[in-house]
Amino acid sequence: MALPFVNSVAQSLPGYGSPSCYGAATQTITTTAGPTTITIAATSTTPGTGGTPFNLSGAPAPSRGKYRIRANTVNGSTTTSITVIATDGTTSLLLGTVTAAAGVAIEETREFNTDLGITSIAFAVTLGGSTYTASFDIEVSLT
């Protein structure tokens, strides 16, 4: 799957990721019903199409890295709120939140370091406004 990023976080931040711990997902959201969760896990993604898991090689679970979120084709009346949560299957940690006013696209890259052996990272996207539509490209580079 090719995302529209010119350089992925694994390429632009050498030493902070490896091909075995790189995952990505893309999804267009057209609803305001609850948050829509885009999950990049070690061996699966949600949605199941348009995604790449981050640890198909079976390497040890990563504990740090970077995530990148890009919203595009945001409707002029659509507001965006995203909550990013990592889990090891038992404990969940809030890695960050991102919000944007109506019609504003998001481009966010953040670094994190945890004591979890991460099995998945979830991006809970909530849209607001009078028209709900935006596309999201998300990637993680973990070590």
User: Which residues pair with residue 72 across a beta bridge?
Assistant: 135
As a whole number of angstroms, the distance between CA 140 and CA 22 comes to: 6
Question: Per-residue pLDDT tens for 9-41?
Answer: 656 555 554 445 899 999 999 887 779 999 999
Q: What is the pTM of this model?
A: 0.87
- Side chain identity, residue 77: S
Q: Quick one: pLDDT at residue 13?
A: 53
Q: Quick one: pLDDT at residue 1?
A: 47
What CATH number has the domain spanning 22-142? Answer: 2.60.120
Question: Per-residue pLDDT tens for 113-126?
Answer: 999 999 999 999 99
As a whole number of angstroms, the distance between CA 133 and CA 86 comes to: 25
Q: In what order do the strands lie in the sheet with 45-46?
A: 45-46, 36-41, 120-129, 78-87, 92-100
Domain locations in the chain? 22-142
Q: Rounded mean pLDDT of 58-75?
A: 92
Mean pLDDT, all residues of the chain: 87
Q: Is the Cα torsion angle 75, 108, 15, 123 positive or negative in sign?
A: negative
How many H helices and E strands in the chain? 1, 10
Q: Rounded mean pLDDT of 90-111?
A: 95
Q: Quick one: pLDDT at residue 43?
A: 94
Q: Rounded mean pLDDT of 76-80?
A: 93
Q: Quick one: pLDDT at residue 69?
A: 96
As a whole number of angstroms, the distance between CA 67 and CA 10 comes to: 10
Counting residues of the chain whose pLDDT is more than 70, the rounded percentage is: 85
